[in-house]
Structure 1
Amino acid sequence: MVSELINANPIVYEKERQARIAPSTAEHSAETIDQLEIFDYLRDIKDPEHPYSLEELKVITEDAIEVDDKRSHVRVTFTPTVEHCSMATVIGLCLRVKLMRCLPSRYKVDIRVEPGTHATEAAVNKQLNDKERVAAALENPNLVDMVDECLAPSLE
C-alpha cells in the first residue's frame, strides 16, 4: 500500500449484485463473451491505495465496458477517483493483466481512462496500450507484486 494517499477518503459505493461467474476463472470456454462477463472478471480487483474494490469505488462500471465478440475486441474505460490519481497506470495495468489471464489470446484489449477524468489521460492511455511498455512494466518485480496484490482474491 502507498504511504501518502492522494484521495484519503474516497466515496465507497455498495456492490450492485453478485458475480455471474467465478472471477478467478483462468480459462474461458468457447462461448461468446459479453460485457457482464468482463465486468465480473474486473469488479473485485482491489484498489492499490484503499481496501476497496474497483467496483466499490466506481472506478470500473459495467457500462464502461464494450465487447465486440465477433471482432475479438474488448474496450474497458475506467474512471480514477481523483484527477491526479498517481495509481491510474497501475489500475489500468491490473485491468489488462486480469484480462490477459482470463480471456482467450485472440482478444485485443484496449484499456482507457474516461475522457476528462485524469490530468495526464493521454499519457496514461499511451502507456496502457503500448505492448512494449506493458511488457517492460511486467518485468519490474515490484510492479508485478503490486498488481498481484490487487488481483488476489478477497476474503469477503
Structure 2
Amino acid sequence: MQFDKPIALAADHGGYELKEVIKAHLTEQGIAFVDFGTDSAASVDYPDYAAKGCDAVLNGSCALTILCCGTGVGMSMCANKIKGIRACCCSDTFSAEFTRRHNNANCLCLGGRVVGAGLALQIVDAFLNAEFEGGRHQNRIDKMMALENR
C-alpha cells in the first residue's frame, strides 16, 4: 500500500471511534492521512464531514477517502451525491476489494455500529490494496459517471 497522496478520513459522531482505530492502523502501516474530523463523539451532521473527505479527493489533495458514520449508509448516500465520487458502503472484504478493482471506487464508507474494529481494518486493507483493473470495466465506469449529468 503506497500512495503518492494521503488518504482522507472523516466521520460523524457515530463513526468517530472507528475513525480513530483506522487512524492508528494507517499510522502503523506508514500510510499518510488527513483527518477532516469530527474530533469527538458529540453529535454532528454527517453530510458536512462527507463533503470534507470527498472534496479532498476531488481537489487532488488526497488519493482516496474513508468515511465513517453509524451505519456507513448516510455517508455513502451523501458522498454519491457529489459529482466525481464513487462511494461504496462495505461490510465485507470482498466488496471492498472489488469496488476498487471493478468500480474504481474512490470512497469507502464504513459503519461504526455495524462492523467491529478488526473486520473494519481488514476491509480498509482490502480497499487500499486493490487497484482498478481498467479494461472492460472502464466503459462501465464511463456510463456510470455519465448518469451524474442526467
For Structure 1 versus Structure 2, the TM-score category normalised by the shorter chain is 0.3 to 0.5
Q: Whose helix proportion is higher, 1 or 2? A: 2
The two structures have a TM-score, normalised by structure 2, of: 0.34
Give the strand-richer structure, 1 or 2.
2
